Amino acid sequence: MLSQHAGNIRVLAGGTDLIPSMRQKLFEPRFVLDLRGIGELRGIYPQPDGGAEIGALTPLSAIERSSYLREHYPVLTEAAATVASPVIRNMGTIGGNICLDTRCLWYNQSLAWRKGCGFCIKKDGDLCHVAPGGSKCWAAFSGDTPPALLCLNAEIEVASANGMRRISLREFYPGDGINYRNLQSNELVTRVFLPAESAGYCGIYRKLRVRGSIDYPLAGVAVAMKRTSNGNGIGRVTEAHIALTAVNPAPVLVKSAGELLAGKNIDEALAEAVGDIAARTAKPLTTSALTPEYRREMIRVFTKRAILAAAQN
Ligand SMILES: Cc1cc2nc3c(=O)[nH]c(=O)nc-3n(C[C@H](O)[C@H](O)[C@H](O)COP(=O)(O)OP(=O)(O)OC[C@H]3O[C@@H](n4cnc5c(N)ncnc54)[C@H](O)[C@@H]3O)c2cc1C
Ligand code: SF4
């Protein structure tokens, strides 16, 4: 069906983002393909090599509550637990969170609002209100679990009538607000793979949002870190990964953070220095009601706090 109606069909997993977007006339597909009956795409499966496989239709609440994931991949359970509200996490899936559309103040509005204020290039218009004069859309990728998955070096399986492909999540987001994922219109995300080598990192996720109980991130930081053990429970960092969400058109890894942390004991000055690098990686624009300056500053603050919290684990 996806191949037959490519371009005129949308996939529905939990529907928690798709349905509101269709009501706002952001998506106007002729057909909707409801995946919810495909039981094989639901579940968390620890692998014999120590890794794990997660079906794309697995609800975020199952990820949040999984004692296996909490023990081996805590940054993912932490991030999943912050998505929206308990009711939405029961409906919303990990695949839907990975494939979530990018967001912008000028875009996530009703048709009447967008008509009144002016359409933009992401939908129905020919200019960008955020960066006038340019032809790129800067809408922010605002999913909570993808930065955690980037830290874990996760891969995803993509299926179509032509077969399967497996790609690193790090290659899935091209960084454009309109073409925000490397997925053809006849393709589905079917599974997420967590490598064995990424198990056992302590993990922290921090996010900024307007309504603490139910909102998308306006800045988010995931930290996954491994340290040596010296008997006191305090050791040097052996490996660390930091990723951001909601401040760029894609979730992004903070590239030099791991190098700066490796081999060192964590203290306030080091955590602050990494916070500075993270803030420079964040490129928020006026895509939300909170100012870009505040969101970038909160990336600095949350990165520092998350590193110090990881050091307590
Ligand atoms: C009030 C509210 C608050 C929210 N807060 C947050 C938040 O804090 N953090 C956050 O990350 N999200 C938030 N969301 C968005 C959403 O609930 C989650 O991102 C959720 O994980 C989406 O999953 P879903 O299964 O419902 O996706 P759907 O709505 O079914 O789909 C989302 C998009 O992904 C596509 N898609 C879904 N599954 C697949 C697949 N397997 N293969 C290919 N394409 C697919 C759909 O076609 C659609 O474009 C919020 C939503 C609401 C309504
Ligand atoms: S960044 Fe520009 S083009 Fe993209 S949704 Fe916002 S206003 Fe529209």
Considering the entire predicted model, what is its pTM?
A: 0.97
- Check if 44-196 and 202-312 are the same fold: no
Cβ(83) – ligand 1 distance below 6 Å: yes
Residue 194, beta-bridge partner list: 52
141 Cβ below 6 A of ligand 2: no
Closest CA to 287 of 109, 57, 145: 109
Q: What is the pLDDT of residues 148-161, one digit of tens each?
A: 999 999 999 999 99
Ligand at shortest distance from the CA of 17: 1
Output the six-digit token pair for 263. Answer: 């081999």
How confident is the model at residue 26, as a pLDDT?
98
Please state, in angstroms and as integers, the Cα–Cα distance from residue 55 to each residue in 9, 115, 121, 160, 193, following that order: 22, 39, 34, 16, 9
CATH of domain 202-312: 3.30.390.50
Q: Report whether 63 contacts 54 (CB < 8 A).
A: yes
CA distance 80 to 143: 10
Question: Domain coordinates of the chain in residue numbers?
Answer: 44-196, 202-312
Q: What is the model's pLDDT at position 230?
A: 67
**Model pLDDT for residues 151-201, shown as the tens digit of each residue:** 999 999 999 999 999 999 999 999 999 999 999 999 999 999 999 999 999
Which residues share a beta bridge with 31?
9
Contact 243, 252 (CB under 8 A): yes
Q: What is the CATH number of domain 44-196?
A: 3.30.465.10
In sequence order, the β-bridge partners of residue 178 are none
Tell me the per-residue pLDDT of 94-131, one tens digit each, with 9 for 90 and over.
999 999 999 999 999 999 999 999 999 999 999 999 99
Looking at ligand 2, which residue's alpha carbon is closest to its atom 4? 137
Q: Nearest Cα to 245, choosing from 216, 266, 286, 268?
A: 216
- For residue 202 the two structure tokens come to 């302590």
Higher per-residue confidence, 219 vs 7:
219
**Digit-coded pLDDT (tens) for 220-258:** 999 999 998 765 556 899 999 999 999 999 999 999 999
